A = this chain, B = another copy of it.
């Protein structure tokens, strides 16, 4: 087991299927090794543009067909519910801004909110790009709807999200989920076995 107990950093986009799969596993895995996880919603649209890339389902017909199959099969393999969203990909700046505002208010509630957004999109097929859906998801877990509505439009939250995306790009994030443990990057939900071994052994 590693000597370090510093937190893991988890970069994700709320519209990323593999990020959703990672979100359902990473906290419990880290906790087994006495670690916490810092969640960082970012915007893959900007990240892809900076890296000359694109969403998997828009890269080629063959890659799109495989990706749709692999999202669902990987979810079944991991024992996680998954229904591919009708609208995909979709914009997630409202959900991300809501997360950062909530995190300043109550970080446990922010984590609960993030899970609720992922599950609304990937289980209940909700349009989480819409501000109303984001407000409704918040309201269900006790977030003040009026304050959240103001926060979604606030220049501070727009700037905060921009800074998080810039920081992720500066770190070398090119896709999601992207996990950093003691300076070591891991890309993709399929790196969970390597993440587990890394936490267990402190490096291999």
Known contacts A52-B60, A174-B66; is-contact A77 B187 (Cβ 8 Å): no
Task: Check A69 for interface membership: any CB of B closer than 8 A.
Answer: yes
Say yes or no: A60 contacts B66, CB within 8 Å.
Answer: no
Q: Is the interface of A mostly helix, strand, loop or mixed?
A: helix
Q: Type the 1/0 row for A164-176, where 1 means its CB is closer than 8 Å to any CB of B.
A: 0000010011110
Picked from B50, B53, B70, B187, the residue with its CB within 8 Å of the CB of A66 is B187
Number of contact residues on A: which range applies?
20 to 34
Known contacts A59-B52, A59-B53; is-contact A73 B172 (Cβ 8 Å): no
Contacts of A87 in B (CB 8 A): none
With the chains together, A70 CA to B179 CA distance in Å? 13
Say yes or no: B188 contacts A60, CB within 8 Å.
Answer: no
Say yes or no: A197 contacts B51, CB within 8 Å.
Answer: no
Interface residues of A (CB under 8 A from B): 50-53, 59-60, 62-63, 65-66, 69-70, 73-74, 76-77, 169, 172-175, 185, 187-188, 190-191, 193-194, 197, 204
